[in-house]
Amino acid sequence: MLSVYICEDNSNQRKKMERFVTEFIMIEALDMELVLSTDDPEEMLTYVQQNPEKVGLYFLDIDLGHQMNGMTLASAIREIDDLGKIVFVTTHAEMSFLTFTYKIEAMDFIIKEETDQLQAKVQSCIKTAYQRYMTDRSGKKKLFQLKIGDTQQSLPIADIIAFEASTSAHRLILYTQDSEIEFYDTMKNLEKRLPNFFRSHKSFLINLDHVSQLKKQERVVEMSNGMECFVSVRAIPRLAKILRQEK
């Protein structure tokens, strides 16, 4: 399910947005839900932090009358939900350039004053975000996105062989056939983002499609690139069963 969020400090505007969103979702019978509508950016950020597995469509005002503005909120959300779609709904058309400064990759920038077009633009954003979400979920475009420094990178999930915990705190190593990429994240978060991968050990998350053989006595699994990943005693029976079922 694609989750929808609204952060708007004007109560009338917020209620109008809520109506646009809920009515369109119901009429089109979309697998979407308005999970949070608030005037408090801190509340929204806390919710997103507590639910990192949810992919969202975010409608954000820029001037929220709060210490945290919409741009800062969007930047923080992007750190957690790198597949989410962000739409700014604001009176500040002149601030659109800041989306590049903050490296937010906003999907759209809707101007509130254009009231006759507001509903149509909101609906268009919902439709586009939903189509992209369904494409990602159906496997037509399975990409893994990660951030290295200030740069967002994407690579096909099918090319990922395994993830290993780095010796550096809160860092992981991503392995493909011909590369190793170190980046900030946690195994717990990756397990949620990649449910088809298998947690063979506290230090390894493996792509089952790249398993060559399970060496039970050595408690390792050999991958398609020749690397060996640890397998815990408790994980061996589960992994062996999965591999038998896939043959």
> 171-206, pLDDT tens digit by residue?
999 999 989 999 999 999 999 888 889 999 999 999
**Single residue among 107, 138, 169 that ends a domain in this structure:** 138
Q: What range defines the domain where residue 15 resides?
A: 2-138
Cβ-Cβ contacts under 8 Å for 227 (sequence gap 6 or more): 161, 162, 175
Q: Using CA atoms, how far apart are residues 206 and 161, in angstroms rounded to an integer? A: 6
Q: What integer is the mean pLDDT of 214-232?
A: 96
Summarised one tens digit per residue, pLDDT across range 100-129 is 555 677 888 898 877 778 999 999 999 999
Q: Using CA atoms, how far apart are residues 52 and 188, in angstroms rounded to an integer? A: 10
Q: Are 81 and 110 members of one domain?
A: yes
H helices present in the chain, as ranges: 11-28, 41-50, 70-80, 98-101, 115-138, 187-193, 235-246
Q: Are 109 and 175 members of one domain?
A: no
Residue 231 near residue 221, CB atoms below 8 Å: yes
Q: Using CA atoms, how far apart are residues 108 and 175, in angstroms rounded to an integer? A: 34
Summarised one tens digit per residue, pLDDT across range 39-58 is 999 999 999 998 887 889 99
CATH number at 228 reads 2.40.50.1020
Between residues 98 and 41, the one the model is more confident about: 41
Q: What integer is the mean pLDDT of 235-241?
A: 94
Q: Are 119 and 194 members of one domain?
A: no
Summarised one tens digit per residue, pLDDT across range 43-97 is 999 999 988 878 899 999 998 888 999 999 999 998 888 889 999 998 876 665 5
Residue carrying the six token digits 């929220």: 64
Q: Are 133 and 148 members of one domain?
A: no
CA angle (87, 79, 173) in 5-degree steps:
140
As given in the structure block, the two tokens for residue 207 are 């792509």
**Single residue among 138, 172, 206 that ends a domain in this structure:** 138
As given in the structure block, the two tokens for residue 118 are 């507001």
Residue 152 φ/ψ, nearest 5 degrees: -90, 130
DSSP state of 159: G
Residue 64 φ/ψ, nearest 5 degrees: -100, 5
Q: What integer is the mean pLDDT of 215-241?
A: 96
**Burial annotation 95-109 (CB, 10 A radius, 16+ → b, else e):** beebbeeeebebbbb
Q: Are 187 and 92 members of one domain?
A: no
For the chain, helix (H) and strand (E) counts, in that order, are 7, 15
**Single residue among 85, 113, 138 that ends a domain in this structure:** 138
Q: Are 16 and 117 members of one domain?
A: yes
Number of domains in the chain: 2
Q: Are 114 and 177 members of one domain?
A: no
Q: Using CA atoms, how far apart are residues 195 and 215, in angstroms rounded to an integer? A: 23
Q: Using CA atoms, how far apart are residues 111 and 109, in angstroms rounded to an integer? A: 7
Q: Are 131 and 232 members of one domain?
A: no
Q: Are 174 and 120 members of one domain?
A: no
Neighbouring C-beta atoms of residue 129, cutoff 10 Å: 24
As given in the structure block, the two tokens for residue 65 are 């009358």
pTM tops 0.75, yes or no: no
Q: Are 217 and 239 members of one domain?
A: yes
Q: Are 131 and 147 members of one domain?
A: no
Q: Is 194 helix (H, G, I), strand (E, B) or coil?
A: coil
What pLDDT is stored for residue 170 in this prediction?
Answer: 87
Q: Are 18 and 111 members of one domain?
A: yes
What pLDDT is stored for residue 144 in this prediction?
Answer: 87
What pLDDT is stored for residue 106 in this prediction?
Answer: 83
CATH number at 70 reads 3.40.50.2300
